[in-house]
Chain A
Amino acid sequence: MLSKKRMYWVVAIVIAVATILSGCAGAKGGGKVLRVNLGTEPPTLDPALATDTTSVQCDEVLFLGLTDFDDKTVEVIPELATEWSVSPDGLVWTFKMRKDVEWVHYDPVKKKVEKKGKVTAHDIVYGVRRTVDPATASDYAYVDYIIKNAEAINTGKNTDLNSLGVRAVDDYTVEFTLEQPAGYFPGIAGMWVNRPQPRQPIEQFGDKWTEPGNIWTNGPYMLETWEHESKMVFVKNPYYVNAKNVDIDRVEAVMVVEESTAFAMYENGELDVVGVPSTEMERVKSDPVLSKELYIAPYLCTYYYGFNVSKPPMDNVKLRLALSYAIDRQKLVDTVLKGGQRPAKTFACPGIFGSPADDPNFVGVSYDPAKAKQLLAESGYTGTPEITLMFNTSEGHQRIAEFIQRGWKETLGIDVKLANQEWKVYLQTVNTDAPQIYRLGWCADYPDENNWVLENFHPTKGSNNPKWSPDDPAAQRFMKAVEDAAAASDPKERARLYFEAEKILVEEQAIIAPIYYYTRVVVTKPYVQRTYAPLGGEHWDKWKITK
């Protein structure tokens, strides 16, 4: 009896001691510390495999790319590259690289940084090849299909990795050969999938090369800690080319999924920056302190409803237009969303190269009940066949759908049925056999219209969820415009063609009804001077702490 009792005590004491000990580990380092919330565990830190905003955020501070995007203008700016040029036929792009960027390895136990040699053109070639290699199984390899032979290699039709259109002319010059001219290529060249990758740790550690202690990096920060699902710690890279201008020594990033918990941590002084949950919006706006810390930043995403034009009655263009004109986008933002979003009149949002969203000459669609009624009368639609609007199961999408459903009923007298499906089931439905009206959002992978209109709605080259027939004369005009724009190198000409494409897509054919452009609502403590990255991937190295 006694021995049993004693055993219980031993177990209880062991657990208690373990609990207390685990709390003692991890003393804080000195210097300036920024505390942020990543929101979730990054699925990977491997630049070849990243697809989501959290992974991209981490890669942004760990790995430099040939190019980067300016936070203010969203223009392509040099990063690893110092300059670039394109051959007269638009097919060969040559990037000259800076010669002073070091690979570093950080030992989190000994807290020691070690240089591992210069970042060269060979690391870029290795990185691009690894992304395209089918053995890597990279989700985002398709953004490189513009590079010569990339598609053939990635799909296994060509097994010679050396035939890929990327080569090191010398140690600091890298040359890309493309399948066809692409004016937007400098943006692609700097994307995470095309960043230099360190061959040695990748070959040594396999899938575990991104763990702290294994990883080599070259960006402003190094990875010190990665407690999965809990937190990551990034420390300043002393050998970073611009290290003297990096103010923050240490970024402690927690992974709090629950928005309201993260917000409470901010209010309690445990975080320096946080997103504002929509339920707290009213309070933040009226609070004398919080309202000063609030910032509504644009975010390069658009929320839209697509029409499956192969399914009656959505094959009726007048009806599609009527529905699009009958959406009161401003009222939706003011009464339902409340996050300072902007009503959308184009598919691509402002800030995307080629988007006519801010062009006063572009009409697009906006709320116009009279015009909607007139178009409905012209369409001859009398209520049959019935229309179903589908979205993925979520309270937010439900509220938006109900608002728009009510608007259509009041303005047009049309009863639209609502349906929803769980996310993955929904994706399969939309991608194979989209319902008459479906909800989706799109965020920029790179800020160019090509990533929007061509990749989504080109009837043969894009995902074409609306099932737009390539034989339709309007579709043919659209196809010509987006194909010509992709191949053109003159920015003015490209912008003109995208203006045309958006006009066909939204204003003339109403293949989709754009609803709103996303915003990101954040509060930041007054002692943090910061930038806002509209593409995601914040530049913490450019932030400052003044306290």
Chain B
Amino acid sequence: MTRYIIRRILSMIPVLIFISLVTFALAHAVPGGPFDREKPLPAEIKANLNRYYGLDQPLWKQYTDWIGLTRNPSGEYAGVLQFKFGPSYSSRSRTVNDIFRAHLPVSAQLGFWALCIAVGMGVPLGIIAALKQNSFWDYFSMAIAIFGVSVPNIVLGPIFILIFALTLGWFPVAGWGTPAQMVMPAFALGLNSSALIARLTRASMLQVIREDYIRTARAKGLAERVVIIRHALKNAFIPVATILGPMFAALLTGTFVVEQIFAIPGMGKYFITSITNRDYPVVMGTTLLYAVFLVIANLIVDITYAYLDPRIHYE
């Protein structure tokens, strides 16, 4: 198992290099640059800015500087290898590292609670629906799930604000810092995922409870609770675990819409605005960050498989 994990981690390196290369090439291939303004800057001012940020260097050199393999124009090795992700063109006093430090914990916190809501609501709803198939509870759970899947959070957010902040006055409208401010965004973010999880749990649970080994467990005289939780759910959880990986990566690295609606200082907006601003180091940083989260999340999912299903072995 340890060898397998080490091998997987090593194989991440070429994947990440490939992603960074493609991102770098795409970002620079898009027309327009970070210093294009409504009133075009005089050529000399643009040249000053390009020199300041090393954008006057050949492209390959900009890339190797960013990786940290070559000395940048100020004569330092300051790249990913040195854990330096470069400056931000649109926020002059901050580096990409500063942005990660300030905003990643916010997004991760929000994502964590959203994930708790997603799993905490989705799994029980799915189980109930499967066990009481075609009953009121099934229809009720699935109605909630369909609502959650089909109402996007761009609609959900303002509805929450209208009901819980403006009408009932339970929570502040927006902002970040107090637990009360986290409730609405966490639900707006988690509800959608919980609906997905509920539907998936139900489907896979329905399949598992018809398996022979469940009948065997029941025949042994095990309590229904034990049959369901220890035997059925564990197996039924495999497809759920599969989608939890990417869901985890997506929720923890920030989500644009919910962060925007609730004015949360998270990472989400940087994924979008860095591209529209042609803020290359931020584009590279956010993409790499998401890639790392995704690759690690998938690795964790693969390891969980071995725990969930004893038939799965890794050599």
Contacts and interface: CB of A to CB of B under 8 A. Distances in A.
A19 B109 contact: yes
Given A46-B92, A154-B45, A268-B165, 13 more contacts: A19-B113, A23-B180, A134-B48, A139-B41, A141-B48, A229-B103, A258-B174, A265-B174, A268-B172, A270-B172, A427-B40, A442-B38, A463-B39
Interface in A380-429: 422-429
A441 to B, nearest CB: 7
B31 A254 contact: no
B239 interface: no
A416 B135 CA distance: 59
A456 interface: yes
B35 interface: yes
Given A26-B177, A441-B38, A43 B109 contact: no
Contacts of A156: 44, 48
10 contacts: A23-B179, A26-B177, A45-B93, A137-B45, A137-B51, A141-B45, A154-B45, A228-B103, A228-B265, A261-B262
B229 interface: no
A258 B269 contact: no
Interface stretch (A78-86, A121-129, A206-214, A284-292): A206-214
Nearest to B36: A427
Interface string B172-191: 11111111111000000000
A142 B174 CA distance: 40
B275 to A, nearest CB: 9
Given A15-B112, A154-B44, A207 B93 contact: yes
Contact of B173 (A43, A151, A228, A265): A265
A424 B36 contact: yes
Contacts of B177: 22-23, 25-26, 230
B260 A258 contact: yes
Nearest to A229: B265
A139 B263 contact: no
Interface size of B as a range = 35 or more
A13 to B, nearest CB: 12
A315 interface: no
A424 B276 contact: yes
B216 interface: no
B93 A211 contact: yes
Interface in B42-96: 42, 44-45, 47-49, 51-53, 90-94
Interface in A44-74: 44-46, 49, 51
Contacts of A137: 45, 48-49, 51-53
Contact of B263 (A23, A43, A254): A254
A295 B191 CA distance: 39
Given A264-B174, A265-B173, A427 B38 contact: yes
Interface in A202-223: 207-211
Contacts of B180: 23
A257 B165 contact: no
A431 interface: yes
A423 to B, nearest CB: 6
Contacts of A456: 39
B102 interface: yes
B244 interface: no
Interface string A17-55: 011101101100000000000000101111001010000
B37 interface: yes
B46 to A, nearest CB: 9
Contact of A257 (B35, B51, B169, B269): B269
B152 interface: no
B251 interface: no
Interface residues of A, number: 65
B35, B92, B93, B94: residue with the most chain A Cβ atoms closer than 10 Å:
B93
Given A22-B177, A44-B92, A264-B166, A455 B45 contact: no
Contacts of A427: 32, 36-38, 40
Nearest to B174: A261
B38 to A, nearest CB: 6
B175 to A, nearest CB: 7
A41, A135, A440: residue with the most chain B Cβ atoms closer than 10 Å:
A41
Given A141-B45, A258-B263, A442-B38, A264 B161 contact: yes
B31 A428 contact: yes
A254 B103 CA distance: 16
B10 interface: no
B166 A267 contact: yes
A256 B49 contact: no
A227 B264 CA distance: 11
Contacts of B30: 424-425
B258 to A, nearest CB: 11
B269 A229 contact: yes
Interface in B152-176: 158, 161-162, 165-166, 169, 172-176
Nearest to B91: A43
Given A424-B31, A425-B32, A261 B161 contact: yes
B93 to A, nearest CB: 5
A88 B240 CA distance: 82
Interface in A143-164: 145, 151, 154-156
B19 interface: no
A427 B41 CA distance: 11
Contacts of B121: none
A255 interface: yes
A504 B201 CA distance: 72
B49 A139 contact: yes
B261 interface: yes
A311 B195 CA distance: 55
A156 B43 CA distance: 12
B91 A19 contact: no
B48 A261 contact: no
B263 A440 contact: no
B202 interface: no
Contacts of A431: 36, 40
Interface string B289-309: 000000000000000000000
Nearest to B161: A264
Q: Enumerate the 7 nearest inter-chain pairs by beta-carbon distance, A residue then B residue, closest first.
A: A424-B32, A155-B44, A23-B178, A229-B265, A230-B265, A137-B52, A256-B263
B199 interface: no
B85 to A, nearest CB: 15
A459 to B, nearest CB: 15
A258 B94 CA distance: 23
B166 A268 contact: yes
Nearest to A142: B42
B263 A257 contact: yes
A44 B174 contact: no
Nearest to A49: B92
A270 B173 contact: yes
B257 to A, nearest CB: 9
A208, A230, A231, A426: residue with the most chain B Cβ atoms closer than 10 Å:
A230
A260 interface: yes
A97 to B, nearest CB: 28
B90, B92, B178: residue with the most chain A Cβ atoms closer than 10 Å:
B92
A65 B31 CA distance: 38
Interface in A70-126: none
A49 B45 CA distance: 12
Contacts of A267: 166
